[in-house]
Amino acid sequence: MPDYSAGHQLDLLQGAQAFFDALVRDIDAATHEVRLETYIFQVYGSGERVAQALMNAAQRGVQVYLVMDGVGTPGLPEPWPKRFDAAGVHWLIFAPLGTFGLLRPSRWRRLHRKLCVVDGKLAYCGGINILDDWWDPHYGPLEAPRFDFTARITGPLVRDTHAAMAQFWWRRQMVRSAQQVDWAGAWQALQQAVHDDPVTGQVMTKGKGALAQLVLRDNVRFRARIERTYSQALGEARKDIMLANAYFLPSRKIRRSLVSAAQRGVRVRLLLQGRYDYFMSYHGTRALYGYLLAGGVEIYEYQSSFLHAKVAVVDGHWATVGSSNIDPLSLLLAREANVVVNDAAFAGTLSAALEQALAHHAVRLDTHQHAQRSLGQKLLDRVALLVMHALLLLTGKRY
């Protein structure tokens, strides 16, 4: 696991409105290059602001690269493909589902990162999609915005983020050229993937600023980095763990780490979904509650809207913000990105936001009531968990 590097300035942004305000402002100021990766890109409501900013940047000569996932974003609505093309936006949809869709387990390996780099000088990393906070594609208008975060970052890890994004883009171009039997184009894309670097130098102040690192998960070199990072932080906790996660189906190792922490006197609080958007995930998670509650872990369910955050704070100084859920899809299959920070000020800001959510927008799960839920409810939870494990076996993975 790489060491932290110093010299970072990090701003925690809560919700899509704050994120889009900052992102559009930075894109509008871009002079050379913008790279953006997202799972969902929906040109609706406030999401249209980002689409327009990307198009405006391309029209003034900025190189704009946009990657969207083929499940989260099966396609852009008309007339946006033509608008992007006319403006000069370079865009692609990663791994479109094709004829058999998700019936092919190989298609479960998704691009779930939410990253952006502007001019090689600043980066964003978090869990927020390009999706209006007050709208859900499946449920329509929301009564309250989603609960989610992203971090705006300057400092050394911007270069790491740019390198990861640029190499991913050119590798996809290489695959596309090879599929079209364009060997010259494939070779050129390979060369770009090896040599691409930020277009401008970033300003770094060595020895000052927050300690931070970019932690990636992919299916080649970094298969278990995010899970190991979480496990290490939980194992070293001495006072307090606050963890908010949208799709929480932890491995046996992480479950044991949480209970072990609680049993050695650490206060462990989990903020999880109270309103679910995916039936199987929600009920599968609840099948694990009994073990965690019996081990002294406090579980709170967010009630005000959909919880989409993937964040944690440990002992008031270690914090992470990113795209990775603590479930098998994120930890075993998807491409994910988290920023991990060792800084009391940043951790304090995130901790305050989580405390606010726990106090005013969540309900603590009652251990006795959970144990006394109906036999039908228990059976539903257990079946959902078993089905999820069975589906995972189709990918050749055990969890």
Give the active site residues: 112, 114, 119, 308, 310, 315
Give the CA-trace dihedral at 238, 242, 246, 252, to 10 degrees.
20
Q: Is residue 296 classed as helix, strand or coil in its secondary structure?
A: coil
Which residues does residue 298 pair with via DSSP β-bridges, in sequence order? 269
**Residue 271 β-bridge partners:** 244, 300
Rounded distance between C-alpha atoms, residue 366 and residue 330, angstroms: 28
Residue closest to 324 by CA, chosen among 335, 315, 316, 314: 335
Q: CA 136 to CA 274: how far, in whole Å?
A: 16
In angstroms, rounded to a whole number, what is the distance separating the alpha carbons of residues 385 and 348? Answer: 35
Q: Where do we find the tokens 């989580």?
A: 354
318-322 and 336-342: which strand pairing? antiparallel
Count of CB atoms within 10 A of residue 90's CB?
15
Task: Return d(Cα 351, Cα 269) in angstroms, integer.
Answer: 12
The alpha carbons of the chain give a radius of gyration, in whole angstroms, of: 21
3-state secondary structure of 77: coil
Cβ–Cβ contacts within 10 Å for residue 203, how many? 11
